[in-house]
Structure 1
Amino acid sequence: MRLTVFFCVFFAATLFTPAFSQNNAFLSFSVGTLGIDDHNKAVDYRLEYRASKSIKGFSPTLGLQATSQASLYSFMGFSRDVRMSNEFYLVPSLGVGAYRQGDGKNLGGVLEFRSGLEFALNLGMNARASVAVHHLSNSSIYQRNPGIESIVFSYCFVRPK
């Protein structure tokens, strides 16, 4: 819960940051570890689309996450590029989606919220590489709310406007 509050505050702070640049649509492929602070680790695979159209600087995001333990999470949300330099971006994100446990961790219910922070490097040639950390939990809307963290490495194909 504290991690979710931190990401919400950080995300809100970017509202007042003029240096953002979500000028392109992205298709991102990711792989990493789900359950980084848990004994129930799984390989985490993701496919994510970030639209170039923004709503007050926030880009709509759609994604699908699957694990080596047959857990699935489909989500939608918003992200925002915060430009740190010509090459580096911070990308906070918030989302909501549906979780299917499979053989993975019981997160308490179907409806789960995702908060995250991505560190991205512009590679040129319409590509980005990044590392991201995410927290997935139901924000205590169910009796059980263990939450789970992940770290993934991503390669993003950029589609210029």
Structure 2
Amino acid sequence: MSRQHTYPVVVTWTGNKGTGTSGYRDYGREHELTAEGSEAIAGSSDPAFRGDPSRWNPEQLLVGSLSQCHMLSYLHKCAVAGVVVTEYVDNAVGTMAESADGGHFTEVTLRPTIVVASPNMVDKAIELHEDAHKSCFIASSVNFPVRHEPTVRSAGQGTTAP
């Protein structure tokens, strides 16, 4: 049985400086993302496109969504497999190429550093990244590669990379 989910989000532009979009430099890129029951996220465009660097931009949010989705899928896979994760930090990076008619992401690389409870869990913890990638709803919805370069170590041990 197939299930369908919907995710309503409201984006409200807050960058009207009094003259609307009367000129490219005459309006702010500030906006808010809201969803029922959640706090607002302050957004803008990338500073390269006249955005406010103190606010989240759509490109960062896309990379963040991919990182979150992978992490949540990964933690689930670990729990089911008996791999006890005690720490998880991802230093994800996305690459976008600009062109005359816009731009597109060329790739996102996830670089999680994971700590597991026991040295005998390290190999399985590394292996589960591929399963987590296949299960990530967001990664399977984009048209560019999402790579993962995990580093895994056991508590009190050095690092191990695949």
Same fold (TM over 0.5): no
Q: Which has the higher contact order (CA 8 A, sep 6+)?
A: 1
**Which structure: greater strand fraction?**
1
**Which structure: greater helix fraction?**
2
